[in-house]
Amino acid sequence: MTAESAASAPKGRIPWAALAGIIATVSVFAMAQGLTYPLLSFILERQGTAPVLIGLSAAMTPLGFIVSSPFIPALVQRMGGGRLAILCSILAAFALIAIAWTQHIWAWMPLRFLLGFFANPLYVISETWLMAITPASRRGRILGLYSSIVSAGFALGPLSLGIVGTQGWPPFLIGITAFLICGMIVLAVVPRLPKMPQEGEAKSVGGFIALAPLLLFAVFAAAAFEQILLSLFAVYGAALGSSEERIASLITCYIAGNAGLQVVLGRVAEKAGSKRTMLVCALASLIGCVLLPWALNTWLIWPFVFVWGGFAFGIYTMSLIQLGERFSGRTLMAGNAAFALVWGVGGMLGSPATGLVMQVMGHPGMPVSLGLLCGVLAVLLLAKRQRV
């Protein structure tokens, strides 16, 4: 633990108005992003695009996360968190308009990169705001609530596809409108939000990586897991005879599990410790990978993906809790930017690598790849527990 961690969060009353503004902003943004991954995968699948190219296309958004991450601390110091968040919301809306206009995989590559580049600062800013105003005694529950509501935003994206379909402009208009609403929410609540933390030793993103490598690997695993499932579950389900509507509904149920279990997992982390709870999440996610092929075409798939999604996203929630426990000030900002960078790396590598595995060994390559991620994380967490 660093010397800064003693003051990692304020004590006293919770500023609920500021918390509500932060969470609402990111939830709307998450809804727009949750819509784009399956929507673009469905379109590319209909066009007969190879799984490896679908995965590569999906990887462009996290690549934007990677490239933008090192610049975020300096941009926040220069522009302020509120202004940067509003600008990014507007630019993300324009990027999605261009994606809808072109409808071509090679044009989508740079446009999806820009979408990730503009989306990333909003997540870093919001999570830094959130940790700066969250009392340590309630960190697990509040960060669990944050994860739950943001996950609900992601769930609304795929759910909207079941309502408006995946053809033409209607699904894109939902995402474009959501991005613009996000900017309006920030504009409305920014007077209630705190300034970005100024105290503590300033650290670069690269410098933070050396401080918490296992924590960042957990973020990598959670990111790769989510990106693989969102971008390639359509291919996996189609290979086993599921319709687009059923796949979209299953993705929604999976993300609803993220939303439904994070507060519970946060409360468990407050009692049992975030490190132990992260290990439980990794092992439960691994078990889910093993059982997925058996459950997919049974009625049990619905409660199964709900619980599976909760534990899989719980890995990231536990990472956020540990970040808030260990760091504060400018180091916290650098840590959130490092989280975003590693999240981007996980998403960028996970989708195309799994697409390639699926091209070689068929549809079982998706649960095999997901299980490998969870298994490695569980082994590393157990090894660290043995050394302590």
Q: What is the mean pLDDT of residues 213-240?
A: 88
- 158 vs 178, residue with greater confidence: 178
More confident residue, 193 or 372: 372
Contact partners, residue 42, CB within 8 Å, separation at least 6: 161, 166, 234, 244, 248
DSSP string over 80-133:
-HHHHHHHHHHHHHHHHHHHHHH--HHHHHHHHHHHHHHHHHHHHHHHHHHHHH
What average pLDDT score do residues 280-303 get? 91
Share of the chain above pLDDT 90, in %: 25
- Per-residue pLDDT band at 7 (split at 50, 70, 90): very low
What pLDDT does 1 receive?
38
pLDDT reading at 205 higher than 90: no
pLDDT band at 6 (very low <50, low <70, confident <90, very high): very low
What's the average model confidence in pLDDT over 327-349?
83
pLDDT over 70 (residue 14): no
Q: Are 310 and 281 in contact (CB under 8 A)?
A: no
Band the pLDDT of 195: cuts 50, 70, 90: low
The mean pLDDT value for 48-56 works out to 81
Indicate whether 91 pLDDT > 70: yes
The pLDDT, as a whole number, for residue 9 is: 43
Mean pLDDT of the chain: 83
Q: Of 21-35, 127-141, 183-197, give the lowest mean pLDDT range.
A: 183-197
> What confidence category does residue 193 fall into, taking pLDDT thresholds of 50, 70 and 90?
low
Tell me the mean pLDDT in the region 211-229.
Answer: 91
Encode 249-317 in three state secondary structure. Answer: HHHHHHHHHHHHHHHHHHHHHHHHCHHHHHHHHHHHHHHHHHHHHHHCCCCCHHHHHHHHHHHHHHHHH
- List the domains of the chain with CATH numbers: 15-195+203-387 (1.20.1250.20)
